[in-house]
């Protein structure tokens, strides 16, 4: 009797886990393939020429850069460091760091697939833009990227594929073919870098759905304040890739308020457990504190306003 | 996330190719035998099929490319990462596919009835002959009493 119950629970857990994973993996794959192609075929110098020096306009431009330079939160950290070392203005770089995991075509498509074309998608983009522009503009006060970046190169784990290390060249292979091969290798490697976080996030979400009674979640998520705090914490702990986090958020859709879901969808791609580790490998501690606390404060305020004033 | 014991460069990339191929074949097998609908809504089947093809292609091309490379730098990766990424295929193969029972559906309370914004109730629009088990569950939920679905024919 007990073993039958246990087997049933395991069966349910695996089915829910695979459901989340299978819904999300096409978007992860699309993201990694796009990343591989951009890594190899898009010149950074071409992009750098586009950036204005005005902090606000620079931050705004950096926020929108993800639309043509799409990377998720793991790839964006080493890419931002490289751009900063190429004299990219700080506001633009920081805005890109925070916004690119949301402001890119793949994440917009996955959010649309999960929630449809409505207020969740619109508010996710709008709130991301506000947070990235404000935080980027605040970083203009630092003036010099050396005050933000660590002097030493980042450890090996931090080096993702997005414009990361150089691959060896095979002899006697045409350049164009070599570049395509490089793109495939980058895409394959990034699929593993990000895939492990997707699997972990899916396991945790499936565990919650299988083991935690719906009534308990409702109790925790019912309050307009508690629901936001709970999903902010979950966004940090789950560390789900932004290309697929909309599907994880969808699992919470009938339990938590819209303001709380937005907090999850905006804060998670900017700051989570895995990106915090990467931040600490690239930026000085004070800069990391700003990178975490400014978005947290703005998103918390916005989500509470949506819940308490707008009644979402 | 830290990796478990690091693997040598000569092992990592061939194993990655195998995992990519394995994931693609697993997804294709679920698509092919119809059990994919135990996991996801019908609207995801086409996307899943394309993903299966793309994963197999990526795995094969990746294997061909890395086979030509004698050496090169590799990000530290352990057995843990490889096993984690392969876990969906491993679990899906070890645990026979089965639809969720009614208790699990009630507790899950998520995408089973289709995709819509939170806080809204999804209205079932598919024809009876096109409904899967999850759609039928919603049809019963939506009907004020059993007579509302009594005359409808399922596949």
Output the tens digit of pLDDT for each of chain A's 312 residues. 667 778 888 888 999 889 888 987 887 787 778 777 777 776 767 666 777 878 899 999 999 988 877 777 766 776 777 677 777 789 999 999 999 999 988 899 989 988 888 889 999 999 999 999 999 999 988 877 778 888 744 333 334 444 444 444 455 567 778 888 888 888 888 788 778 877 887 787 788 777 766 566 666 667 888 889 988 988 887 777 787 788 878 877 777 888 999 999 999 999 987 778 778 878 899 999 999 999 999 999 999 999 888 776
Q: What ipTM was estimated for this complex?
A: 0.71
Q: Could B55 and A29 be called an inter-chain contact, meaning their C-beta atoms sit closer than 8 Å? A: yes
Break chain B into its structural domains and give their ranges. 9-94, 102-150
Contacts with B136 (C-beta within 8 Å, 6 or more apart), sequence order: B149, B154
Does B48 lie at the interface with A, CB-CB under 8 angstroms?
Answer: yes
Does B84 lie at the interface with A, CB-CB under 8 angstroms?
Answer: yes
Q: How many residues in total does chain B contain? A: 155
For A36, A120, A250, A255, the CA distances from A114, given in Å and listed in that order, are 25, 10, 7, 16
Give the span between the Cα atoms of A125 and A68, in whole angstroms. 15
Does B68 lie at the interface with A, CB-CB under 8 angstroms?
Answer: yes
In chain B, residues with a C-beta closer than 8 Å to the C-beta of A187 are 58
Q: Could A29 and B69 be called an inter-chain contact, meaning their C-beta atoms sit closer than 8 Å? A: no
pLDDT value for A158: 35
Contacts with B66 (C-beta within 8 Å, 6 or more apart), sequence order: A185, B13, B14, B17
Which pair of structure tokens corresponds to residue A253?
């859709």
Coil, helix or strand for A283? Answer: strand
Backbone angles phi, psi at A210, to 5 degrees: -85, -40
Calculate how close chain B gets to A125, using CA atoms only, in Å.
16
Out of A17, A25, A214, whose CB is closest to B109?
Answer: A214
Mutation target among A191, A201, A215, A307 for the B interface, most CBs of B within 10 A: A191
pLDDT value for B72: 55
pTM: 0.65
Out of A159, A165, A274, whose CB is closest to B1?
Answer: A274
pLDDT value for A284: 92
Residue A58, number of CB atoms within 10 A of its CB: 25
Out of B54, B76, B106, whose CB is closest to A157?
Answer: B76
Given a cut of 70, the residues of chain B with pLDDT beneath it are 1-9, 70-77, 102-155
Q: Could B118 and A156 be called an inter-chain contact, meaning their C-beta atoms sit closer than 8 Å? A: no
* Contact between A188 and A263 (Cβ < 8 Å): no
Instruction: State pLDDT tens for residues B96-129.
Output: 888 877 666 555 544 433 333 444 444 445 566 6
Task: Tell me which residue of A135, A38, A155 sits closest to A90, measured CA to CA.
Answer: A135
Calculate how close chain B gets to A11, using CA atoms only, in Å.
7
Q: Which residue of B has its CA nearest to A189?
A: B16
**Would you give the DSSP letter of residue A155?**
P
């Amino acid at each position: 009797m007990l073993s039958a119950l246990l087997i049933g629970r395991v069966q349910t857990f695996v089915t829910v886990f695979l459901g989340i994973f299978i819904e999300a993996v096409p978007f992860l794959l699309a993201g990694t393939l796009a990343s591989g192609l951009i890594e190899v075929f898009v010149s950074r110098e071409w992009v750098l020429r586009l950036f204005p020096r005005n902090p606000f306009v620079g931050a705004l431009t950096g926020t929108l850069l993800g639309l043509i330079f799409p990377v998720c939160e793991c790839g964006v950290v080493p890419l931002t460091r490289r751009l900063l070392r190429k004299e990219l203005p700080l506001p633009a770089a920081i805005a890109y760091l925070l916004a690119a995991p949301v402001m890119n075509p793949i994440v917009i498509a996955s959010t649309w697939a999960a929630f449809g074309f409505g207020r969740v998608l619109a508010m996710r983009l709008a709130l991301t833009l506000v947070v990235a522009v404000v935080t980027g503009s605040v970083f203009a006060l630092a003036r010099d990227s050396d005050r933000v970046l660590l002097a030493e190169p980042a450890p090996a784990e931090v080096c993702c594929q997005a414009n990361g290390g150089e691959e060896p060249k095979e002899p006697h292979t045409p350049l164009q073919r070599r570049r395509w091969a490089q793109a495939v290798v980058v895409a394959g490697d990034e699929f593993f870098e990000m895939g492990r976080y997707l699997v972990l996030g899916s396991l945790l979400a499936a565990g919650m759905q299988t083991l935690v009674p719906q009534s308990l979640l409702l109790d925790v998520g019912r309050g307009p304040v508690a629901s936001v705090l709970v999903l902010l914490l979950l966004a940090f702990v789950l560390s789900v890739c932004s290309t697929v986090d909309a599907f994880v958020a969808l699992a919470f859709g009938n339990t938590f308020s819209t303001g709380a879901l937005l907090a999850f969808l905006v804060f998670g791609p900017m700051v989570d457990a895995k990106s915090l580790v990467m931040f600490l490998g690239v930026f000085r501690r004070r800069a990391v504190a700003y990178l975490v606390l400014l978005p947290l404060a703005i998103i918390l305020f916005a989500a509470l306003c949506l819940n308490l004033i707008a009644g979402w | 996330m830290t990796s478990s014991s690091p693997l040598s460069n000569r092992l990592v990339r061939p194993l990655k190719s195998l995992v990519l191929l394995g994931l693609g074949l697993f997804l294709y097998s679920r698509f092919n035998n119809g059990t994919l609908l135990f996991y996801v809504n019908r609207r995801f089947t086409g996307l899943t099929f394309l993903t299966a093809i793309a994963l197999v292609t990526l795995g094969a091309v990746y294997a061909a490319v890395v086979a030509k490379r004698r050496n090169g730098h590799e990000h530290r990766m352990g057995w843990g990462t490889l096993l984690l990424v392969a876990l969906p295929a491993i679990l899906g193969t070890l645990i026979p596919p089965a639809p969720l029972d009614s208790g699990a559906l009630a507790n899950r309370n998520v995408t089973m009835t289709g995709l819509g914004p939170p806080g809204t109730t999804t209205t079932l629009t598919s024809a009876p002959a096109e409904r899967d088990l999850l759609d039928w569950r919603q049809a019963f939920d939506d009907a004020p009493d059993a007579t509302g679905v009594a005359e409808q024919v399922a596949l």
